[in-house]
Amino acid sequence: MELNDNYTFDDYREVFHKILEEKKLNKTSERFNILREIFEIEGHFDADKLFQRLRSKKYTVSKTTIYKTLDLLESFQLIVKHHFGDKVALYEKCNTQHPHNHIFIENTEEIIEFHYDIPEQLIKTLEDKYKISISHHSLTLFGKKKNENQHKLSSTPITHE
């Protein structure tokens, strides 16, 4: 089952359940509570945010269990792990139907998500050239916000003599 924009938690849970069965791993309530909480989070999150959300709902779960479950979900491609500079790892639900890319603004720690055809065109070119099938990708660009003086200077036309 491939997940898309309209998947429900039950779809997400079913995929996780099948994978755990195939891998002969325990189907614990902690893992499914973590999965449910991840499903409810919009956007990026870190392990501490997930831990706090679970604790606020009175779920008993250790940080070790959270990290192990995050690694497991990432290995199953149900979530994606990102490293934006020196920040702790951030995660988000995987969406294979509408992949997106990121720009990390280093001086404000802002994350901008964008959809652009170039990565998909590049992927197709690489698949054809190397006779491979790319299952997923991650493109992160790093930059800094320009201050007003920098912006004015950089927008000055450059002439060649």
Domain ranges for the chain, please list them: 1-95, 99-161
Q: What is the pLDDT of residue 149?
A: 55
Helix and strand numbers, DSSP H then E, in the chain? 6, 5
Give the whole-angstrom CA distance, residue 79 versus residue 45.
Answer: 11
> Domain 1-95, what fold?
Arc Repressor Mutant, subunit A (1.10.10)
pTM over 0.85: no
Over 60: is that where the pLDDT of 84 sits? yes
Q: What is the pLDDT of residue 117?
A: 65
How far is CA 99 from each of CA 95, 102, 139, rounded to the nearest angstrom? 6, 10, 10
- Radius of gyration (Cα) for the chain, nearest Å? 20
CATH code of the domain occupying 99-161: 3.30.1490.190
Give the whole-angstrom CA distance, residue 103 versus residue 117.
Answer: 15
136/32: higher pLDDT: 32
pLDDT digits (tens, 9 = 90+) for 115-129: 766 677 888 898 999
- How does residue 63 score in pLDDT terms, banded at 50, 70 and 90? very high
